[in-house]
Amino acid sequence: MRSSAALLTGCVFALGAFSACALDWDSLRPTAQVDSGVDASDDGGGDEGDGGSDDALDAATDATDASTCQLQLLVNEVQVAGPQGASDEFVELLNLADCAGPLANYVLRYSSASGSNPYPIWTGTTETIEAHGYVVMAGKNFQGTTNLVARFAGDTGNGVLAATGGGVGLFGPDLLMIDSVAYEVITTKTHPFVRPSAAPDGGQAPGAPNPTSGKSIARTPDGQNTNTNATDFKLTATPTPGAAN
């Protein structure tokens, strides 16, 4: 800090009082303000001088919010066959989060009614999902287009989701399962995708209803998740792939 004597430039003292004095006001301002010509007396109430810093702060805050927001994905609707046959099938995902995000390295796996080793039917690459949005992965003969992002791997026209029982599970890039649903008739007490994993008495927990041809099983209301397939999913005669149930 400069001494008070150095600030009093051009001052003349007479009888203990100032007779003429010109304070060096620039020396009282931060160096950055002196160099840029910004008036230190500006309190931010106007448009001049401080808009850039406020904009930068807002941008930094938005960037932080975006980096901390995580996708919240659910298997929201499933159809195993339709008017176009066994390959007229789809799985819909719903994002409950307030942010959009990429689906690279997310994996959708299928397991038969007997709880066979789950195998991938879709692996994300460049797909994205919007905040509170939907994406659809489907069989070769599925005719819908709303939010359709991919076709099931290995489907040559015969379909990959069995019509009489099975399940699908969604796995994250960390290989951990995020969500799943198994539909009747399940023939094992240890199906990897039924929720809950077992009934309270240790027996087989019930799956969602079997989605007969042209119908789907859907979380009703949209996005409901009590972690119980039989409660969360209802049979619907009017599938809504890529949109709210």
Write down all domains in the chain, each with its CATH number in brackets.
1-39 (no CATH), 73-236 (2.60.40.1260)
- Stated pTM of the model: 0.74
β-bridge mates for residue 219, sequence order? 233
Rounded distance, CA 177 to CA 140, Å? 25
Q: Is the pLDDT of residue 50 over 60?
A: no
**Alpha carbons 4 and 23: distance in angstroms, whole number:** 10
Task: Choose between 79 and 34: higher pLDDT.
Answer: 79
Task: Determine the pLDDT at residue 53.
Answer: 57
Number of Cβ within 10 Å of residue 219's Cβ equals 24
pLDDT band at 15 (very low <50, low <70, confident <90, very high): very low
Lowest mean pLDDT segment, chosen from 11-15, 91-95, 101-105: 11-15
CA distance 111 to 95: 23
* CB distance 139 to 152 below 8 Å: yes
Q: What pLDDT is stored for residue 33 in this prediction?
A: 42
Residue 75 has pLDDT above 50, yes or no: yes
Which of 29-33, 132-136, 193-197 is predicted with the least confidence, judged by mean pLDDT? 29-33
DSSP 66: H
Residue-averaged pLDDT of the chain: 82
Q: 8 or 158, which is more confident?
A: 158
Distance between CA atoms of 140 and 81, rounded to whole angstroms?
Answer: 11
CA distances from 1 to 5, 23, 24, 33, 36 (A): 12, 15, 13, 16, 20
Average pLDDT over residues 159-171: 97
Residue 85 has pLDDT above 80, yes or no: yes
Question: What local confidence, expressed as pLDDT, does residue 2 receive?
Answer: 45
Per-residue pLDDT, averaged over 200-224, amounts to: 93
Task: Please report, rounded to a whole number, the percentage of residues in the chain having pLDDT higher than 90.
Answer: 68
User: Does the pLDDT value for residue 88 go beyond 50?
Assistant: yes
Write the DSSP symbol of residue 215: -
The helix or strand, by DSSP H or E, that contains position 54, with its residue range, turns out to be helix 51-68
| Averaged pLDDT, 39-52 | 46
Q: Is the pLDDT of residue 9 over 60?
A: no
pLDDT band at 201 (very low <50, low <70, confident <90, very high): confident
**Residue 49: which pLDDT band, with cuts at 50, 70 and 90?**
very low
Cβ pair 152, 121 in contact under 8 A = yes
Say whether pLDDT at 39 is over 90.
no
DSSP 132: T
**How many other C-beta atoms lie within 10 A of the C-beta of residue 91?**
27
